[in-house]
Amino acid sequence: MTQVTERALFVVLSGPSGAGKDTLLRGLLARDDRVHGVVTAKTRPRRPGEEDGVHHHFLSESEFKALVEAGEFLEYAEVYGHRSGVLRAPVRQALARGATVVARTDLQGARSLRRRVPGALLIFVTVPDLATLERRLRARGDVSEDDIRQRLSHARSEMAAAVEFDSVVVNREGAEAAAIDEVLGILQRERARPDRLRPVV
C-alpha cells in the first residue's frame, strides 16, 4: 500500500471584513493540531479582550517601521488607517515543522502573498450578501458608523475578487461549523496532492 505524505501548506484566508475569518481560524485551530495560526502585527489600538501576542502583535508606528526596514515582513499594508503585516520568521519556522500555516489578511495582502510565496493556497471567505455582512459588523459593537460604511463599500469590490482565489467558502449565518468542515476538507485534499509546491518564504 502506498503511503500518502502530507505536505506543509501556507494558507491565506481572505475576504471582506465581517465575513468570519477569525471564527473560521479558531475552529481550524480547535479541530486540527497541524494548523498553525499566524499572529499578525498591527499598529491599531487593542480592542477589548484582545491580548498582545495572542490575537495580534500590537506595535507602535516606529516599531512597525523598524521591522519593515529590517525586511522582517512577508507582506504589510495600510488597512483602515493602520498598518498590518505578516512576519516572516514565525511562518518559516512553522513550515519547517511541516505545519499548515494559516494567515488572515485583506484582499491587498492576499494578492501580495500570492506573488511573494510560491505554493501559497488562497481561500476566500465570504457571506451570502451585503446585508449579512452589515449585521455582523454592527453586532461587533466596536466599529463606528463611518467604519461600517467604509467596510461595506470595500466589500463590494472585494467580493467581486473571489474569482482570483483557489477556493471560495461561503460562511452562512448559524452555519459556521459547516464552513469550518469545508475548509478542513480543502486542507486535507491539498496536503495530499503530489503536485502541491512546498511554500517558499
Please provide the DSSP assignment of 93-123 as one string. Answer: HHHHTT-EEEEE--HHHHHHHHHHSTT-EEE
Provide the percentage of residues in the chain whose pLDDT is more than 90: 62
Q: Cell numbers 481572505 label which residue? A: 14
The model's pLDDT over 141-200, given as tens digits with 9 standing for 90+, comes to: 777 888 888 888 888 889 999 999 999 999 998 899 999 999 999 999 999 998 888 898
Q: Please tell me the pTM assigned to this model.
A: 0.86
More confident residue, 5 or 67: 67
**113 touches 74 (CB < 8 A):** yes
User: Mean of the per-residue pLDDT values for the chain?
Assistant: 90
Strand partners for 86:
75
What is the structure's pLDDT at 5?
54
Q: In what order do the strands lie in the sheet with 41-42?
A: 57-58, 41-42, 82-87, 73-79
